[in-house]
Amino acid sequence: MKLVMAVIKPHKLDPVREALTEIGVTGLTVSEVKGFGRQKGHTEIYRGAEYSVAFLPKVKIELVIPNDRVEQVMEVIRDAAETGQIGDGKIFVIDVERSMRIRTGETGDDAL
Amino acid sequence: MKLVMAVIKPHKLDPVREALTEIGVTGLTVSEVKGFGRQKGHTEIYRGAEYSVAFLPKVKIELVIPNDRVEQVMEVIRDAAETGQIGDGKIFVIDVERSMRIRTGETGDDAL
Amino acid sequence: MKLVMAVIKPHKLDPVREALTEIGVTGLTVSEVKGFGRQKGHTEIYRGAEYSVAFLPKVKIELVIPNDRVEQVMEVIRDAAETGQIGDGKIFVIDVERSMRIRTGETGDDAL
Amino acid sequence: MLPLARYGMALLAVLLLPMPALAEDSLNSGDTAWIIVATALVLFMTLPGLALFYAGLVRSQAVLSVVMHCVGIACLMTILWLVVGYSLAFGDSAGGWIGNLGKAFFSGVGKDAMRGSIPEIVFAVFQMTFAIITPALIVGAYVERIKFSSVLIFSGAWLLLVYAPVCHWVWGGGWMAGLGVMDFAGGIVVHATAGISALVIAMMLGARRGYPEQVRPPHNPGMTATGAAMLWVGWYGFNGGSQLAADGGAGMAIAATHIAAATAGMVWMIIEWTKFGKPSLVGAVTGVIAGLATVTPASGFVGPLGGLILGAAAAIVCFYAVQIVKHSLKIDDSLDVFAVHGVGGILGSLLVSFLALAMFGGNGLAEGQTAVGQLGVQAIGVGVTLVWSAVLTVVIVKVTGALTGGLRVSEDQEIEGLDLASHGERGYDIGR
Amino acid sequence: MLPLARYGMALLAVLLLPMPALAEDSLNSGDTAWIIVATALVLFMTLPGLALFYAGLVRSQAVLSVVMHCVGIACLMTILWLVVGYSLAFGDSAGGWIGNLGKAFFSGVGKDAMRGSIPEIVFAVFQMTFAIITPALIVGAYVERIKFSSVLIFSGAWLLLVYAPVCHWVWGGGWMAGLGVMDFAGGIVVHATAGISALVIAMMLGARRGYPEQVRPPHNPGMTATGAAMLWVGWYGFNGGSQLAADGGAGMAIAATHIAAATAGMVWMIIEWTKFGKPSLVGAVTGVIAGLATVTPASGFVGPLGGLILGAAAAIVCFYAVQIVKHSLKIDDSLDVFAVHGVGGILGSLLVSFLALAMFGGNGLAEGQTAVGQLGVQAIGVGVTLVWSAVLTVVIVKVTGALTGGLRVSEDQEIEGLDLASHGERGYDIGR
Amino acid sequence: MLPLARYGMALLAVLLLPMPALAEDSLNSGDTAWIIVATALVLFMTLPGLALFYAGLVRSQAVLSVVMHCVGIACLMTILWLVVGYSLAFGDSAGGWIGNLGKAFFSGVGKDAMRGSIPEIVFAVFQMTFAIITPALIVGAYVERIKFSSVLIFSGAWLLLVYAPVCHWVWGGGWMAGLGVMDFAGGIVVHATAGISALVIAMMLGARRGYPEQVRPPHNPGMTATGAAMLWVGWYGFNGGSQLAADGGAGMAIAATHIAAATAGMVWMIIEWTKFGKPSLVGAVTGVIAGLATVTPASGFVGPLGGLILGAAAAIVCFYAVQIVKHSLKIDDSLDVFAVHGVGGILGSLLVSFLALAMFGGNGLAEGQTAVGQLGVQAIGVGVTLVWSAVLTVVIVKVTGALTGGLRVSEDQEIEGLDLASHGERGYDIGR
Ligand SMILES: Nc1ncnc2c1ncn2[C@@H]1O[C@H](COP(=O)(O)OP(=O)(O)O)[C@@H](O)[C@H]1O
Ligand SMILES: Nc1ncnc2c1ncn2[C@@H]1O[C@H](COP(=O)(O)OP(=O)(O)O)[C@@H](O)[C@H]1O
Ligand SMILES: Nc1ncnc2c1ncn2[C@@H]1O[C@H](COP(=O)(O)OP(=O)(O)O)[C@@H](O)[C@H]1O
């Protein structure tokens, strides 16, 4: 199994989730994160004092999938999350050794 | 070392932490996440407009442990987090190559 | 490529980011997390009722980097995040098999 | 005194009000104390009441922009009201259509000028708070997507071209007052004008991006309820203060107001409970506000029973009005300004014809007037106001759009949220 | 005038109040202005004051439900008070036990009916706001686990069976008034009734799931402090308004009220500082509220020094009462309604016997009455009220439980939180 | 009556006020109603108004501590004012410098003692709310880094050594009153004293850790705007109440106040829009508060036009004052107390010399006085107050530091945030 971890723009979360559901992905986990990258943060001015906010709001998606679906999942995420503008984010793939569904105790691909 | 990453129901966090402490786990990191899976979200109605909230509040636990403890940790998490109802969550295990304690610079299993 | 995942004290986020920027790291992702470790939480008393808060606010940094930069990045994070006091946090390194920049479709080290 | 006679006198008083202070007017410190406080209460309705009520309903990336709209409107309307608005509304009438400029810059409104038993300056500031909240009501129509410059220009023009004339017609001794139109505290002057204009600007501006599927639910219903509670409390000043005296009439206006609010809140809860299975907080307080808007034109003319009936009618009619605007007309009047305020104000303005009758515990109609006759008068008042407001709003929106290069922000800015895009601020920076 | 004579007159006035307006009553616009505003202030105490005070203390998944309880109660109590409650409390007395139905639907309470120097309609609405806040106080006992339907049924029955009778006994010319029980603004009528009923319903309902170890700390102490501040401000209307006039008596009531609040806040801080090492905001404002509840029955009878003593006593006694209920009795009266409001109200109702003496700067007792004698009278008033309220609450809870299939929501719903489970809403949807 | 004569009478009234009630004083219930409500409004300004205004501007780990400072100050100042403060300020004058102790513990201030047309107890509590808000204003200077014990000791000493004397000089029949210094509602007594003391304590305490680069932006601008709105509403009571009557003078004071607030808010928005490209909510409401502080000393002496000019001047001058303190002086007066309140109060205290002239719609100056002459008088009043306040603040800070082992918390506690470190609480515990 592989863990696909994608960092995307917040307003792309719904499209990505829908696209993944369509290809049969049944589970994923989402975190609200702050991103730092080529796309720069912004400056806020309050009463003349400048506060530079280096980080931008992003959403991190983590989903574990069987090995043979990695290609397709990456494709689908990219299609749904792309705007073509800087800051669109990244997709990373990491190997997962074991998995278990807490409710049933199933393991391996069955747990996903 | 292995990274055990578990997604569980929020009100199970305290029991899981206590169970892990009992078997001698000394550190873990927790994130508030939103989950999408077999357990479905809900619909909110405000003034007649429906808003479908696809995601459910979950808690993600990450802890890095020596290789030989993986079995036991998975067991303990499962026991403490199980309710038998849909949405109980998952446990994933990922290999960790290196680790370091920032305070002391210790590495490997000593850093945990 | 490697995923470096560091859990640090919240007020060390800015120094760490700046130190990483200086050595040419161009992207990272930050989550607000709660940590449990040797450093203990605290007790809050409201109207005589004690609430023990087991977790402390921490910040988790995730950045994916080419293999040859791991050593340096760990060093730099440690230098910037260290206070010498309990609770400074950990650095973990995990192997990343694939990566992709959503905007361009670039993969591998080019995607970082 | 007979109810009819009393009403006749009230009407007479209304007609006399716009006139310069009469020689025999002398200060009543109790009345003055009450109207000063009522003024504070009506300001409190907008800031922070309405601001919180609306701000809780938008997504968290636009919470500040909504508050900013209300603050900006409060500031600008104050200045305009001082410079020319008060005079247009309450200056000597030019043929019943508009006040002249004799009171521009509050000229002649010194400390000693009187209006009935209270200083005219107190009356002028009391009315100023009405001139603030009315354009602020429209904010709910255009949240999350409008330029701040457009808000200011639109609201300023709207105050002078829509609010001031209608206010003059009804309360400033204009032609509607002459006709006998009954509007105690602003069903026509405030709620009908703002409500229909909200609908028009929402249509012209277009819906929020992703509407209706991807719009976010209210980000902070507790904030909305807090604002609604403040509106409820402040409405005592709005309706009770419109009596311009601290007497049984003010007390009765407040009684009717309070009862209508509570009844409408209760009925709205029951409707939601029946239809959706759960009564929501956002729904309950929407009901309260609908009840308050509906009782407004009637408050000084009806009794407690009138309040009860108005409240129940408000909840039922406004609940369905919300559904119709959203689901049938598919207009993104985002925070339901028309369906709640507009429809409520119109409803109350019509129902008062009956509920003011003594048989419902009201003060009675003008001598010789029948309920049906009064209904006709009310219908004229409402109808002309709706047409005038709608037409002028179209014109003002067009001109504003031309001046500000379109009313809407760019799509990127809308996605980012108005707080950062237009004001450079974020609503919440909450660390753990 | 001698203090005693003054007090005698005050007592006389209290006894006369329930009577129909006397022929010689004429409107005092200053008094009327003040009581209208006081009415607004007391409404403000419940909405949003009490709602925020309580909502900040629960976990974030139940914040809206607490506000909803307060809104629902405000709506329903208003209707019940109009229909029959006011008449039961202030209608002509049936043997000193309960008012008759002569004032049902505010019948006879027209614009011109007077009560002392103010219109009776103003008095009726002022009292309505008391009838709203009293059952709303009980909300703190059952948060996070009760059905909304149970809240409404319980509160409605409680208003008619507990509040209205006791209110009649003390303020409506009933037997306690005849006995000479002193309760200026509601130590017995409001705080003792609500406090003991809260304790009873908390026991019958059972504790929150996971209580006491796994209960969450207050999710938003700043919200609680905001609500407490509003309660403090609104209490000027509660206690000062109970004078029913804008005079030195109202001023003195407010002085005592304010001083008691501040002193209790300060003393509570000091106790926490000493005992726990840190003074907390939640503690400080709890002290303020304890002081306010405690001074309430005494406010119009004591001087500034009385306020100071009542405040200090309130903080000390209520602080330990909280500990006892939580740690010794182990009752999950979740937001300490009994320990703060109940105990405070009882304490003040007893202490007034002494602090009303001229030697403490008070107005003195009724002619011929001694402090100890008055203490006996007060003890009877308090004791009967506690028994009556407790017994009736048991009955009402039983019946409500039968009607709504048990008062508690299911365990799943409790875990999910009442906001989503009962109202389909979430308190905070804050994106970054 | 001629403006000048009227002003002469007003001045006479001011001079007479500190005297014991005159035989012919009789209660005016309208005036009393208004001042009671004004008292509630001024309390509302501090709690929750100022508390929210300030708390929204700090980082989220210190939100509660700011509220706690305000609550703690409200409690302690109340007690001190009762015990001795009122008497120092308004007791019989010892040579124009300070009041004697004749009114300690409000002695002689019974229900029947009068002050003009209102009970003296009402006046004493009205002034008590001023004695609360003035030291609370200083909170903005030392947030996020001060010990709570230091806050209490500093504020208590400051009340007695700075506020009470200056209050006596200006309003208590002291030497400034004799000199003819004009300060209607506290430009000198409130804003100049608090402003300069804030600057001094900020300098002595040192900047927040990481200032200026790493300081967090305001964590909740909506909370700040809510507080500002409450301040705006409450200021009606602050300035309008200072008339001590419900009449045209109070009405005009409120008109000027409201217009100044709105104008300053508008102008501040425009300045930010021009300079930074975006008008911010925090900026707009800062402008509003600057306008309110600036109009305060002038409010009862000027007309609407005066309000307009004062508002515009306030925004321009205070905006640049903020820049200067931050960027040139580099003082971490964290929430700009000096630049907004201090500078505003001083500005208004000087400008009133001109704007009170009849040509600007004001009431005119004392007979025989010229604008330039009055400016000299005002400059003396302001100058002496600034020196006195600054010097005494230095002394009090030193002594407080000695008593509490330094004013600052440890660096660790500052990093952790005062909420947890000093009060053991967290501001937000919001689950998803
Ligand atoms: N090397 C990295 N490791 C982890 N996260 C990264 C890395 N580079 C970028 N990110 C995340 O992806 C987001 C987008 O990256 P950015 O460089 O701004 O734009 P783009 O992906 O279009 O090149 C960043 O805000 C950050 O959250
Ligand atoms: N393949 C997956 N990858 C990552 N997280 C998952 C995956 N499947 C489920 N989850 C997480 O686990 C939670 C529970 O899963 P769900 O399918 O609802 O129930 P169950 O675990 O009982 O089968 C989800 O809400 C989601 O957060
Ligand atoms: N084994 C672990 N796996 C994951 N996170 C850990 C682990 N041990 C510690 N942490 C994280 O690191 C933080 C600091 O650890 P702690 O033991 O308190 O101090 P130190 O790092 O100085 O030994 C914890 O709060 C937790 O978030």
Nearest CA in chain C to B28: C36
**What pLDDT sits at residue D432?**
58
- Distance of CA C89 from the midpoint of ligand 3 (Å): 5
User: Which pair of tokens denotes residue D203?
Assistant: 């249509």
Portion 396-425 of E in contact with B at CB < 8 A: 415, 420, 424-425
Each residue of F74-85: pLDDT tens digit?
999 999 999 999
Each residue of F251-261: pLDDT tens digit?
999 999 999 99
Average pLDDT, integer, range A16-25: 97
**What pLDDT sits at residue D318?**
98
- Name the average pLDDT for chain B: 96
pLDDT at D3 over 50: no
Each residue of F373-424: pLDDT tens digit?
999 999 999 999 999 999 999 999 999 999 999 999 999 999 999 999 999 9
Each residue of B48-79: pLDDT tens digit?
899 989 999 999 999 999 999 999 999 999 99
Could you say which of F218, F246, F258 has the minimum Cβ distance to residue D29? F246
User: Which chains lie within 8 Å of chain D at 3 or more CB pairs, if any?
Assistant: A, B, C, E, F
Q: Could you tell which of A7, A12, A42, A86 is best to mutate to test the pocket of ligand 1, judged by most ligand atoms within 8 Å of the CB?
A: A7
With an 8 Å Cβ cutoff, are C47 and E322 in contact? yes
With cut-offs at 50, 70 and 90, classify the pLDDT of residue D25. confident
Could you say which of F217, F323, F327 has the minimum Cβ distance to residue A46? F217
- Distance of CA B38 from the midpoint of ligand 2 (Å): 7
Each residue of D228-261: pLDDT tens digit?
999 999 999 999 999 999 999 999 999 999 999 9
- Distance of CA E429 from the midpoint of ligand 2 (Å): 22
**What pLDDT sits at residue E432?**
58
- Minimum distance, in Å, between the CA of residue C66 and any CA atom of chain A: 13
With an 8 Å Cβ cutoff, are A47 and F216 in contact? no
- Residue D369 CB neighbour total at 10 angstroms: 20
With cut-offs at 50, 70 and 90, classify the pLDDT of residue D421. very high
Each residue of C14-72: pLDDT tens digit?
999 999 999 999 999 999 999 999 999 999 999 989 998 999 999 999 999 999 999 99
- Minimum distance, in Å, between the CA of residue B55 and any CA atom of chain A: 8
- Ligand 1 contacts CB of residue C93 (under 6 A): no
**What pLDDT sits at residue D431?**
80
Contacts of B51 in chain D (CB under 8 A): 215-217
Percentage of chain D modeled with pLDDT above 70: 94
- Minimum distance, in Å, between the CA of residue F185 and any CA atom of chain A: 26
**Ligand 2 atom closest to Cα of residue B85:** 22
- Distance of CA F127 from the midpoint of ligand 1 (Å): 59
Average pLDDT, integer, range D255-281: 98
Q: At what angle do helices D304-323 and D281-295 cross, to 10 degrees?
A: 120
Could you say which of A14, A44, A53 has the minimum Cβ distance to residue D214? A14
**Ligand 1 atom closest to Cα of residue C27:** 8
User: Which chains lie within 8 Å of chain F at 3 or more CB pairs, if any?
Assistant: A, B, C, D, E
With an 8 Å Cβ cutoff, are D43 and F236 in contact? yes
With an 8 Å Cβ cutoff, are E283 and C46 in contact? yes
pLDDT at F271 over 90: yes
pLDDT at D17 over 60: no
Percentage of chain F modeled with pLDDT above 70: 94
Average pLDDT, integer, range F7-17: 41
Is the CATH number of domain F26-420 1.10.3430.10? Answer: yes
Q: Which ligand is nearest to the CA of B1?
A: 3
Q: Which of E50, E85, E45 is nearest to E69 (CA)?
A: E50
For residues D390-410, one letter each, b for 16 or more C-beta atoms within 10 angstroms of the residue's C-beta and e for the rest, the string is: eebbeebbeebbeebeebbbe
- Minimum distance, in Å, between the CA of residue F24 and any CA atom of chain C: 52
- What's the Cα-to-Cα distance from B68 to each of A16, B25, D304, D309, E327, rounded to whole Å? 38, 13, 77, 74, 44
Question: What is the DSSP-derived secondary structure letter of residue C47?
Answer: T
By the 10 Å C-beta count (0-12 exposed, 13-18 middle, 19+ buried), B72 is classed as middle
- Name the average pLDDT for chain D: 94
Each residue of E137-187: pLDDT tens digit?
999 999 999 999 999 999 999 999 999 999 999 999 999 999 999 999 999
Mapped onto helix, strand or coil, the DSSP state of residue E66 is helix
Average pLDDT, integer, range E182-208: 98
- Minimum distance, in Å, between the CA of residue A45 and any CA atom of chain D: 7
Average pLDDT, integer, range D347-370: 97
With cut-offs at 50, 70 and 90, classify the pLDDT of residue F432. low
Can you give the residue ranges of every domain in chain B?
2-111
Can you give the residue ranges of every domain in chain E?
26-420
pLDDT at E19 over 80: no
Chain centroid offset of residue E412 CA: 33
**Ligand 1 atom closest to Cα of residue C29:** 27
Task: For strands C49-53 and C42-46, give the pairing.
Answer: antiparallel
**What pLDDT sits at residue D11?**
40
Report DSSP letters for F202-237, one per residue: HHHH-PPTTTTTTPPPPS-HHHHHHHHHHHHHHHII
* Residue to substitute from E43, E258, E359, interface F, most F β-carbons within 10 A: E258
The model's pTM is 0.96
Write the class of the CATH domain C2-111. Answer: alpha beta
User: Which pair of tokens denotes residue F56?
Assistant: 């929204």
Q: Could you tell which of C21, C26, C29 is best to mutate to test the pocket of ligand 1, judged by most ligand atoms within 8 Å of the CB?
A: C29
- Minimum distance, in Å, between the CA of residue C42 and any CA atom of chain E: 13
**What pLDDT sits at residue F7?**
43
Percentage of chain F modeled with pLDDT above 90: 93
With an 8 Å Cβ cutoff, are B100 and C90 in contact? yes
Average pLDDT, integer, range A42-70: 95
Each residue of F219-247: pLDDT tens digit?
999 999 999 999 999 999 999 999 999 99
User: Which chains lie within 8 Å of chain C at 3 or more CB pairs, if any?
Assistant: A, B, D, E, F
Average pLDDT, integer, range A60-70: 97
Task: Please tell me the distance from the alpha carbon of residue D423 to that of residue D426, in angstroms, as a whole number.
Answer: 9
**What pLDDT sits at residue C78?**
98
Is 0.85 exceeded by the ipTM? yes
Task: Please tell me the distance from the alpha carbon of residue E135 to that of residue E126, in angstroms, as a whole number.
Answer: 16
* Residue to substitute from B7, B94, B96, interface A, most A β-carbons within 10 A: B94
**What pLDDT sits at residue E431?**
80
SS3 content of chain F, % helix, strand, coil (to 5): 70, 0, 25
Residue nearest to atom 27 of ligand 2 (CA): B35
**What pLDDT sits at residue F431?**
81
Average pLDDT, integer, range A40-46: 92
Each residue of E74-120: pLDDT tens digit?
999 999 999 999 999 999 999 999 999 999 999 999 999 999 999 99
Contacts of C59 in chain D (CB under 8 A): none
**What pLDDT sits at residue F13?**
42
With an 8 Å Cβ cutoff, are B51 and D216 in contact? yes
- Distance of CA C37 from the midpoint of ligand 3 (Å): 5
User: E268: which residues sit within 8 A by CB, 6+ positions away?
Assistant: E279, E283, E284, E286, E287, E288, E290, E315, E318, E319
**What pLDDT sits at residue E20?**
40
Whether D285 and D224 have beta carbons less than 8 Å apart is answered as yes
Each residue of D194-223: pLDDT tens digit?
999 999 999 999 999 999 988 999 999 999
- What's the Cα-to-Cα distance from F219 to each of E332, F63, F202, F224, rounded to whole Å? 34, 9, 21, 9
- Distance of CA A91 from the midpoint of ligand 1 (Å): 9
Question: What is the DSSP-derived secondary structure letter of residue C64?
Answer: E
- Ligand 1 contacts CB of residue A2 (under 6 A): no
Each residue of D127-157: pLDDT tens digit?
999 999 999 999 999 999 999 999 999 999 9
**What pLDDT sits at residue E24?**
47
